[in-house]
Amino acid sequence: MVGSVNDPLSEDAKGRLTDAGDELADEIRTEVDGAALSDAAGDMAQALANVSSLTHEDLSPTLETEYETVAARANDLVSNLILADFFETADEVLPPFDPDFLEDCLAHAVGTAEMEPFETAGVGSELPEFVDEALSHTEAIEQNVRWEPEKPNKVSPMTTRGATEGVVDWLDDLGRHLWMSEVLLSEQMLEDAETHTRAMGSALLLLAQGVAGLDHDESNPEDDVARIVGGIALHTHHQRRLPEDLSWITDEMRAPGGWA
């Protein structure tokens, strides 16, 4: 049964989140600069809000600059996570990403998220929709998690740092890809591109909010880790979808009148 954003947190997930949150906070609390991370997230949110709507009328070289700006701000955010040794520690601490756990984290994350940065980015009303879609694909998300053979119960670096840096790479290239491929892109493909862009940005904001929460003694570790895992799951899902929707252009997908 597929979960929903309104589902309560299961007792099993609550225990795993609490244990992981306490351990993660103990390891990196002194390294996390919550204020700097929140500032970086705010800058990225504003850059995301400034990206033009993806319609054929708005496709131009300017779009490349807008996407590169979002990517640069996203890279600043990721750099803050690297400086805090977040990724290395998360690889050791986070529980396995099984589908039920992913559902619990995604639903709890969107239910407890502080909405200000999402509103700044213009994605506040869309965040539940992004998460609802991801909830329908938790088994596929799990299959995109690369496990370390010697640590079968741990999350691998490809899931945390590798996948998160992948968002930056996609954003850095996507604007150029879109305006240079205009003749090939249907309205549906542009709509998909806009959804993936905004969802990946939302995922980074969710992840940053979770890590920033570890800087505060009064924060709830369940909420923090749910946002961290939910953010990773959300951007993993949309990175998986991007090539299918935008890069592997079939004759059926091609815009009418596009190159043969």
Q: What is the residue-level pLDDT of the chain in tens, covering all 260 positions?
A: 455 666 677 788 888 888 888 888 888 888 889 999 999 999 999 999 999 888 888 788 899 999 999 999 999 999 999 999 999 898 888 888 888 889 999 999 999 999 999 999 999 999 999 999 999 999 888 877 655 556 666 666 556 888 899 999 999 999 998 888 887 888 889 999 999 999 999 999 999 999 999 887 677 888 999 999 999 999 999 998 988 888 655 555 444 444 33
Question: In degrees, to the nearest 5, what angle opens at C-alpha 93 toward C-alphas 139 and 90?
Answer: 80
Q: Is residue 236 part of a domain?
A: yes
Q: Is residue 16 part of a domain?
A: yes
Q: What is the DSSP string of the chain?
A: ----TTPPPPHHHHHHHHHHHHHHHHHHTTT--HHHHHHHHHHHHHHHHTSPP-SGGG-SHHHHHHHHHHHHHHHHHHHHHHHTTHHHHHHHHSPP--HHHHHHHHHHHHHH---HHHHHHT-TTTHHHHHHHHHTTHHHHHHTSPPBTTBTTS--TIIIIIHHHHHHHHHHHHHHHHHHTGGG--HHHHHHHHHHHHHHHHHHHHHHHHHHHTT-TTS-HHHHHHHHHHHHHHHHHHHHHHIIIIIS--TTTSPTT---
Q: Is residue 145 part of a domain?
A: yes
d(CA 175, CA 245): 15
Per-residue pLDDT tens digits for 157-194: 556 888 899 999 999 999 998 888 887 888 889 999 99
Look up the pTM and report it.
Answer: 0.89
Q: What total number of domains does the chain contain?
A: 1
d(CA 141, CA 36): 30
Q: Is residue 231 part of a domain?
A: yes
- Looking up tokens 């009148």 gives 257
Structural domain that includes position 153:
11-247
Q: Is residue 92 part of a domain?
A: yes
Q: Report the Cα 93 to chain-centroid distance in Å.
A: 19
